[in-house]
Copies of this chain bind each other. A is one copy, B any other.
């Protein structure tokens, strides 16, 4: 846990005012910088102490074996794990002859600030060496959103009181020794020394190291060069070895005359290009960075973020904590997805090695809804990546005896890397989640280029998968047997409601796409007859319902299972204290599952059903997954429990700023961070789009006095300002721009210069505020967390 005072509440910064070495792993994740291509954990400049060193390149991975005590047909035997690549953020400092290390001497002050508008991490320290020499160090680090291959560090040292001889060693280090990993199965397996030296080069104060991975055979290059500003004599030398390059600068600093080093970093990797090509690519990127200069990089960074915040910012008046948290969340979602460009968005972004750096359904189901409404180009790129892996998905479907394409539960490059099929391969809903993201992109942006460039094919391939997974019973109802839904405390069940409805949505969307693009569909061998069978199956989809309890069953038979014995068994997360067999056989949910069905396909349920279902599953959902609180926030808002929704919003927002799941050290929970936006915009804003139109139906909890957010819709930006009684809709996209939406059931058109105000629909909950399982009440706002 991270205590409530660790990061003071500020609207645009995450500031750490001291340095708690026991929280280094967590703060390295919180302070990670990334542009979706390069990721730098927030390690101290001097490298030590650390929680875990981390430098990542999106999709740069090493193979790892997937062992089985008892093997089976179709089990993947080779997994993929993100690699800690050459560390370029290292700047070591010697004051006279003593290394600057916060564990020695006296650390007079230490502050780190993540600036969400500047896109920088700044560190300020004042330190007295064991020999009594005092210095001030201030470093600023950025990973450029504009120059995708570039990162940079500005490192400023000032002697205080008396002169000091300063030695700065700026390094590139490959194959860093990694700390032992914990036994928690969620933590990725360690990969020791995965990089093999290929080439090294240095000239002046610049150096480049080229490496390749031992097994997967990917090549990468890291380069650095430097600008040193100092009074007086400076010497420098640069040396390289197989696994390191080091530029050393020695200077005598007079008090009040800071020494300033700017370090430019560039990274590149490829599975195909030669190492000379990679080496030159990195040199080119360094040249560009030098040309731009440190101030230029800072300026570009801020301009990029200004544009982002203009479209994406969410203002939460009345709750400063959630205000800070949602901006922190959006910043990291942007970092994860901004420049991934043809690569996936991993569950932890590029902030840590958790989950082996894999991409899950989180991307399409949690991250892309946010990006589609705030940075649609990034959403489109992520879906293009997914489509680029279709050959693996086709092979996998064939291997499994299925038709179409079966996208992996977890992967880096596209191959299934799941080593436990009941919670991996069997979770076929990932295919419908991908299809839904494709359809959402088209509906929200009005851009059909994606559909024409792979999107139709993807819808067709997933529709065919569902047709081979589902079957009709004797009464004509369509079922999907033996698959796993979102809730990982159930597995291999029949007629999971979310899966069934998502499959039906996939089938309907595919059929509609075929009707729109009949010529292209014919090229894929799809005719209207085949599409008609999809529509038939979708219409006949079975949704299990318990007539006696008057609630839907998460899956067939769920409400007849024994209950979890919360009176005696409440060590959370349950999965670390109970076997799957017992979790699977009881009415206990790791995360929202039927709730996902109510969230995505709410139009298919009556308001009373939603209220009763929410009440039933609230009592049985332990939120051992970080994917749950945000969905429960949206549903609580939907059924009128606005304060409960607020609590869940706070929980989703705090998952990493408070380390609620005790594993922030392994990387941030990007989906839960995206969920903060979902909770605010889809919960309190009441945003929905499944009917194909933009629907809003806002309402605020007591603790939020005003909520303002923007969404992109068909190229326009709709600004929504919600008060307790009234909501205002605005468009500022120039003459003629307008957005048509449905407010609380009423059709409304909003045009530039013609804002629309409407009263907020009052919510009256049908049922009292539900209880959660003991010990699993949502993390409270203004909490007394110790």
Contact = CB atoms under 8 A, between A and B. Distances in A.
B548 A69 contact: no
A395 to B, nearest CB: 14
A617 B229 CA distance: 84
**Chain A at the B interface: mostly helix, strand, loop or mixed?**
loop
Interface stretch (A382-390, A471-479, A645-653): A471-479
A561 B482 contact: yes
Contacts of A67: 67-69
Contacts of A420: 68-70, 72
Interface in A554-596: 556-557, 560-562, 569, 575-582, 584-586
Contact of A422 (B400, B422, B479, B575): B422
B66 A69 contact: yes
Interface in A456-488: 471, 473-474, 479, 481-483
Contacts of A66: 69
Interface in A225-284: none
A632 interface: no
B185 A72 contact: yes
A562 B471 contact: yes
Interface in A401-419: 401, 418-419
Nearest to A580: B72
B70 A185 contact: yes
Given A67-B67, A482-B561, A494-B557, A579 B548 contact: no
Contacts of A548: 474
A74 interface: yes
Contacts of A72: 185, 420, 575, 579-580
Contacts of A479: 560, 562
With most chain B CB atoms within 10 A of its CB, the pick from A70, A420, A560, A578 is A70
A180 interface: no
Nearest to A587: B481
A426 interface: yes
Contacts of A578: 73-74, 401
Contacts of A577: 73
A616 to B, nearest CB: 15
Interface string A55-80: 00000000000111111111110010
A475 to B, nearest CB: 10
A586 B74 CA distance: 17
Contacts of A576: 73
A468 B339 CA distance: 53
Contacts of A492: 422, 491-492, 581, 584-585
A565 B425 CA distance: 21
A7 interface: no
How big is chain A's contact interface, by range?
Answer: 35 or more
A579 B421 contact: yes
A581 B421 contact: yes
A73 B580 contact: yes
A758 B87 CA distance: 90
B482 A68 contact: no
Contact of A419 (B70, B581, B584): B70
A495 B66 CA distance: 33
Interface string A431-471: 00000000000000000000000000000000000000001
B79 A69 contact: yes
Interface string A290-312: 00000000000000000000000
Nearest to A585: B482
A694 to B, nearest CB: 38
A579 B401 contact: yes
A576 B491 CA distance: 22
A478 to B, nearest CB: 11
Nearest to A77: B69
A242 to B, nearest CB: 32
Given A68-B419, A556-B557, A74 B481 contact: no
Nearest to A581: B426
A422 B579 CA distance: 11
Nearest to A64: B69
B400 A581 contact: yes
A181 to B, nearest CB: 12
A76 to B, nearest CB: 8
B74 A579 contact: yes
Contacts of A471: 562
Given A69-B79, A401-B569, A569-B401, A579 B425 contact: yes
Contacts of A586: 481-482
B579 A481 contact: no
A641 B576 CA distance: 52
A70 B79 CA distance: 11
Contact of A584 (B423, B424, B482, B556): B482
Nearest to A423: B70
Contact of A69 (B68, B481, B579): B68
Nearest to A419: B69
Given A401-B579, A471-B562, 13 more contacts: A68-B419, A71-B185, A73-B577, A422-B492, A425-B579, A481-B562, A482-B582, A483-B585, A492-B492, A492-B581, A492-B584, A494-B557, A556-B557
24 contacts: A67-B68, A68-B68, A68-B420, A69-B419, A70-B420, A72-B420, A72-B579, A72-B580, A74-B581, A401-B578, A401-B582, A421-B580, A421-B581, A425-B581, A426-B581, A471-B562, A473-B560, A481-B560, A481-B561, A481-B562, A482-B586, A492-B581, A494-B560, A494-B585
Q: Across chains A and B, which 5 residue pairs bring their CB atoms closest together, nearest first?
A: A69-B419, A482-B585, A67-B67, A66-B69, A74-B579
